[in-house]
């Protein structure tokens, strides 16, 4: 597997461009994971860094890693307090009538024997909000910029399918896999402010499986 691309680096933080299909934790069924390769990211430090937030296995792009325990606590708190700016790019499996909007759908986790676990809109679920706008339309598909203000599990995927009404391309849970290797979602930008230090700002370039579709 190829080397990690470092998007940002200083004494307390790394931001890597996580490849789509790479799990952060070692999967129960086996397979590649960031956890198994974390020593590659020591980069001269004695201890390996730790992920400060989560990205789905399929999702590519900006992943923030803390290089020491104190930084990890601060970064975790910033995510919990919604002080982190996050921008995602996703390809919808269709073109929505509206070209921008705000989705507010509370989300709850359910599980069944035949379908496993997934998130659904539910009045008693956890509040979640996503702003979105269409950036481009190619071959009956739309490239959308998503700006989530909350960080619920599968938030963008459910908001696309149930809020916009069109699932992300290749999403096997909330849409259709349709022959694609992964759900087409990319964490394109991350920004986090810090006291007495410049903010962490990282941008991940458009992944090849997006550009091959004309975006």
CA distance 184 to 168: 6
Report pLDDT digits (tens) over 131-140: 999 999 999 9
pLDDT value at residue 181:
94
Q: Which residues contact 50 (CB under 8 A, 6 or more apart)?
A: 65, 66, 72
Number of H helices, E strands in the chain: 4, 12
Look at residue 111 and tell me if it is in a domain: yes
Which residue in the block uniquely carries the two structure tokens 């931001």? 15
Report pLDDT digits (tens) over 22-51: 999 988 887 889 999 999 999 999 999 999
Range of the domain at 105: 6-211
pLDDT value at residue 73:
96
Q: Which residues contact 94 (CB under 8 A, 6 or more apart)?
A: 140, 141, 142, 166
Q: Looking at the predicted structure, is the pLDDT value of residue 91 above 80?
A: yes
Q: Which residues contact 215 (CB under 8 A, 6 or more apart)?
A: 91, 136, 138, 143, 206
Task: Give me the DSSP letters along 21-55.
Answer: T-BSSPPTT---BHHHHGGGG-TT-SSPPEESS--
Please report, for the domain that includes residue 191, its CATH number: 3.30.2350.10
Domain count, the chain: 1
How much is the pTM?
A: 0.94
Report pLDDT digits (tens) over 179-210: 999 999 999 999 999 888 999 999 999 999 99
Look at residue 1 and tell me if it is in a domain: no
The set of catalytic residues is 56
Residues 78, 85: contact at Cβ < 8 Å?
Answer: no
Alpha helices in the chain (DSSP H): 34-37, 69-80, 155-158, 208-211
> Residue 117: which pLDDT band, with cuts at 50, 70 and 90?
confident
CA distance 15 to 75: 12
Q: Looking at the predicted structure, is the pLDDT value of residue 1 above 60?
A: no
Structure tokens at 83: 């002080």
Look at residue 41 and tell me if it is in a domain: yes
Look at residue 36 and tell me if it is in a domain: yes
């Amino acid at each position: 597997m190829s080397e990690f691309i470092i998007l940002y680096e200083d004494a307390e933080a790394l931001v890597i461009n996580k490849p789509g299909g790479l799990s952060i934790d070692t999967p129960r069924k086996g397979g590649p994971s960031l956890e198994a390769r974390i020593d590659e990211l020591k980069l001269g430090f004695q201890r390996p860094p730790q992920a400060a937030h989560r990205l789905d296995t399929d999702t590519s792009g900006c992943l923030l890693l803390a290089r020491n325990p104190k930084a990890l606590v601060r970064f975790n708190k910033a995510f919990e307090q919604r002080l982190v700016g996050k921008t995602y790019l996703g390809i919808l499996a269709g073109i929505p009538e509206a070209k921008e909007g705000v989705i507010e759908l509370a989300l709850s986790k359910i599980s069944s024997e035949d379908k496993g676990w997934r998130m659904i809109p539910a009045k008693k679920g956890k509040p979640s909000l996503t702003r979105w706008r269409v950036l481009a339309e190619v071959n009956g598909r739309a490239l959308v910029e998503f700006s989530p203000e909350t960080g619920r599990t599968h938030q963008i995927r459910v908001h696309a399918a149930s809020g916009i009404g069109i699932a992300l391309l290749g999403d096997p849970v909330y849409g259709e896999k349709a022959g694609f290797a992964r759900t087409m979602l990319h964490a394109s930008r991350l920004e986090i402010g810090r006291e007495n230090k410049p903010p962490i700002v990282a941008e991940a370039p458009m992944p090849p499986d997006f550009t091959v579709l004309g975006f």
